Amino acid sequence: MAGADLEMAMKRPTMDRMLASTSQRNDDGLRASYNISLLIAKSGKPHIIGEKLIFPAVEEVLKRVLHKPAPDIIKRIPLSNNTVERRIDEMSSDIESFLCNYLQTTHFSIQLDE
């Protein structure tokens, strides 16, 4: 009987396991948000396209092709106009600081024709 209780206790989800899976899902949504924001920036389309076109398209694919409940997945991907704008600004400032640091630490010379 004690062995069965121990086995049941081991099968029960612990707080760490529950938080880890929730954290992983939120992290996946955040990564998707950054990747979609990058695609929006590359396309040159207005930032609102995330809410107006991408969300409905993803929802349709989830429902019709994957047969998954779309609202549970969609709500983990922040794609509002302001969020997309912030993500793009964040990524562009990272690129700017990277390039400045790279150019400051790289040795180069300029050859001029006479």
Residue 70 contacts residue 63 (beta carbons within 8 Å): yes
Residue 73: predicted pLDDT: 82
The residue count for the chain: 114
- The pTM (predicted TM-score) of the whole model is 0.62
Residue 70: predicted pLDDT: 81
pLDDT per residue rounded down to tens, the chain (114 residues): 556 665 655 565 555 554 455 556 668 888 999 999 999 999 999 989 988 999 899 899 888 998 888 888 888 888 888 999 999 988 888 888 888 888 888 887 777 777
State which amino acid sits at residue 45.
Answer: K
Residue 19: predicted pLDDT: 47
Q: Which two tokens stand for residue 75?
A: 């709500």
Rounded-to-10 torsion of CA 10, 16, 18, 24? -130
State which amino acid sits at residue 66.
Answer: L
Residue 85: predicted pLDDT: 92
Q: Which two tokens stand for residue 48?
A: 């609102």
Residue 12: predicted pLDDT: 59
